[in-house]
Chain A
Amino acid sequence: MSSEQFVQYLISGLTQGSIYALVGLGFTIIYAVTRIINFAQGEFVMLGGMLSFVLANSVGIPLVPALILSVLIAAAVGAIMYVLAIRPARRASVVSLIIITIGAAIFIRGIAGQIWGKDYVRPPYFTGEEPISFLGANIHPQALWIIGTTLVATIAVHLFLSYTMVGKALKACAINPSAASLVGINTRTMGLIAFVLAAITGAIGGVVMAPLTITSYGVGIMVALKGFVAASIGGFRSPIAAVIGGILLGIIEAFAVAINWGPFTSDYKDAIALIVLLLILLIRSGKLAEEERTG
């Protein structure tokens, strides 16, 4: 492997990993605040990408407003999903709520497929398609956008959670919902904010990734799976760990293919995420059980 190729694998891994990171971040935020695993997380990514295509290409809005509008619409979808599907069922068991999110995911995907068709589409690149020379390798400019945006989004979320009242209230809910409501935090509102925040991070990922990876109504499923693995690396509690987990997963996938020996070939690229998931679950099952008993 030449140094040029090493950089390429690294960038490839970072790019893919950034998407997993953003999705994992969304999973973690919602789980921490509401104890729900939101399987519609991948659909927010899909919505971000598809909306950016529809608004920029079909409706003809200039690029930057189209991107912002896509994220806002996806956030609205997240809010509506919470208000209509999650909040009314808040007394149901966690498993029921998870199933509700699966239903919401299928619903969103179905509507998207009906309205926009099932073809693959490519929104416009942010800054063109000429490769940039970076540490000796040729990198697509959109890849740099993906990595950069993920970094900024992660820092923004971290600052929000740590230094704003709302953020701290979210954290309080995550630590102990009963105690949080005792001190006057409205847990239902916190749930809504968690869903909206997760929708925003997912949609940002979708918007920035779609020009490079080409998108369609059905991309949410696989994205959600990989993001789930990322979140599980962070134990579903720590947003930063989820982001690191996602990036690690992306890098592992890229380099595993580079080994090109035995099971580590391009044939089994998708299986790698699942193997990582199995390992995480095995390692963490002991720790999670302990946390549940004490937490």
Chain B
Amino acid sequence: MRNYLKYAVVLVLVAALLALGGISCSEEEVIKEGDTYKIGALFSVSGPYSPLGEPEKQTMEMMEARINEAGGINGHLLNIIVYDDESDTTKADILATRLIEQDKVLAIVGPTASGTSMSAVLVADDKHVPLVACAASEPIVNDEEGNEREWTFMTPQSSNQAARAIFGYLQEELNISKVAILTDKAGFGVLGVAALEAEAPKYGITIVAKQTFDNVNDKDMTPQLNIIENASPAAEAIICWGTSPGPAIITKNWHDKQMGIPLIQSHGSLSNTYLQLSGDAANGVMLPSGKFWVANQLTDDDPQKAVLLDYIADFEALYGQGKANTYGGHAYDALSMVTMALGEMENGLTISEARTDIRDYIQNITGFVGTGGTFNMSPENHHGLTDDALVMVQVVDGKWTWLE
């Protein structure tokens, strides 16, 4: 008799669990007037990418507070659910799924890095949720056949655009035709290699040496620099593609070796953390950057100037002098697009209809002046930035300076 009782209890529990699972709200739930809009945010607040992810999260908090103080969007308060993927692609996958299925968000902002973004992009594509990434690689918006993905967008300048900015400068200003590349083995670096190899021939530039480094574990890249030094024909510049902390170590190694050829970092190293970790060694390093770091030097008729200066002032009022960086700006652009879409959304849509509505709105945004540039989206172009969004900067005396 006791055995049957055990089985019966287990059966009842299983049935109850299944029933509860069915009861939880589905995507057909309707968003009514006065309901809170739930938006998901997935950033690398900790781990190697935290110099990028932390200001992105803070930007979310700043904008959410400002919107809610003003009464929300058409009377709907905004609830931004921020998760930390810890710079880990597996966690990005799990958390993106959680945002979509458990938290039922209407859209996702982020992730921070290319590797984590690719994880989340596949989830968003599969579950039909609009995702505006703050990472900079073409595969986020293009699939393998070159078609534009339907649900994902990105706000930073892409790696291909960065490569073009670098090569354009090398060709026109420095007359350089042979470069060596030193890239992160994972994520952003791998996509960087593809971008660099694709763009180099257009500027008459040959890549004479290719080396890689492990961003997390490699503590000394002098061996790789030595190999680059031995390349034949000789490299006239080194282009490094990574985020943090690898590029800082490479910068120190390059400085110590006094290699005599310029070092160019990617737009993944545009944070003050890079400057702190590299110390004096960073002086002379050149990078492709959005107009963020040269906002003060823009002419008054550049529409980005006002947007940038306002963002920086607001951010630093909350989080401290010198804490704003270009990555928080990418998050600002991404969330702005989502809130613009929410501003035009009617009541009475189901969650899945709302997601489609937001996606449709974003892919038709034109002339939106963000911190990263002026965005002109279309169904065939989920990126929306043109090459003039990037300028070349150089570290001079520990400060970012425009190379005009």
A contact set with B: CB distance below 8 Å? 1-2, 5, 8-9, 12, 15-16, 113, 117-120, 122, 129, 131, 138-140, 209, 212-214, 218, 222, 254, 257-258, 260, 265-267, 269-270
Contact = CB atoms under 8 A, between A and B. Distances in A.
Interface in B145-197: 185
Given A131-B256, A140-B252, A258-B226, A15 B50 contact: no
A129 B375 CA distance: 43
Given A16-B220, A117-B46, A214 B248 contact: yes
A129 B86 contact: no
13 contacts: A5-B230, A8-B226, A16-B220, A120-B273, A120-B277, A122-B279, A129-B279, A131-B255, A212-B219, A213-B219, A213-B220, A258-B227, A269-B223
A117 B47 CA distance: 9
A265 B273 CA distance: 29
A118 B86 contact: yes
A26 to B, nearest CB: 19
A9 B223 contact: yes
Given A120-B277, A265-B211, 19 more contacts: A1-B226, A8-B222, A12-B222, A113-B46, A118-B47, A119-B51, A119-B273, A120-B273, A131-B258, A212-B252, A213-B220, A214-B277, A222-B217, A254-B220, A254-B223, A257-B224, A265-B212, A267-B185, A270-B218
B66 interface: no
A25 B47 CA distance: 29
Interface of B: 46-48, 50-51, 86, 185, 211-214, 216-220, 222-224, 226-227, 229-230, 244-245, 248-249, 252, 255-258, 273, 276-277, 279-281
B258 A138 contact: yes
B46 A118 contact: yes
A59 to B, nearest CB: 18
Contacts of B248: 122, 214
Contacts of A117: 46, 50
5 tightest CB-CB pairs across the interface, nearest first?
Answer: A118-B46, A213-B219, A257-B223, A120-B245, A131-B256
A266 B47 contact: no
Nearest to B45: A118
A9 to B, nearest CB: 6
Given A1-B230, A214-B245, A266 B223 contact: yes
A16 B252 CA distance: 16
Contacts, number: 93
A270 B227 contact: no
A258 B223 contact: yes
Nearest to B218: A269
A16 B227 contact: no
A140 B185 CA distance: 25
A120 B222 CA distance: 20
B398 to A, nearest CB: 13
B281 A266 contact: no
Contacts of A122: 248, 276-277, 279
B253 to A, nearest CB: 8
Which of A120, A139, A254 is packed against the most chain B CB atoms within 10 Å?
A120
Nearest to A6: B226
A117 B224 CA distance: 30
A139 B256 contact: yes
B208 to A, nearest CB: 13
A180 to B, nearest CB: 39
Contact of A5 (B218, B219, B226, B256): B226
B219 A16 contact: yes
A209 B220 CA distance: 11
Contacts of B258: 131, 138
Contacts of A120: 48, 244-245, 273, 277
A138 B230 contact: no
A260 to B, nearest CB: 5
Contact of A129 (B51, B219, B249, B281): B281
A275 B47 CA distance: 28
A266 B212 contact: yes
B259 to A, nearest CB: 10
B67 to A, nearest CB: 28
Given A120-B273, A129-B280, A138 B86 contact: no
Nearest to B185: A267
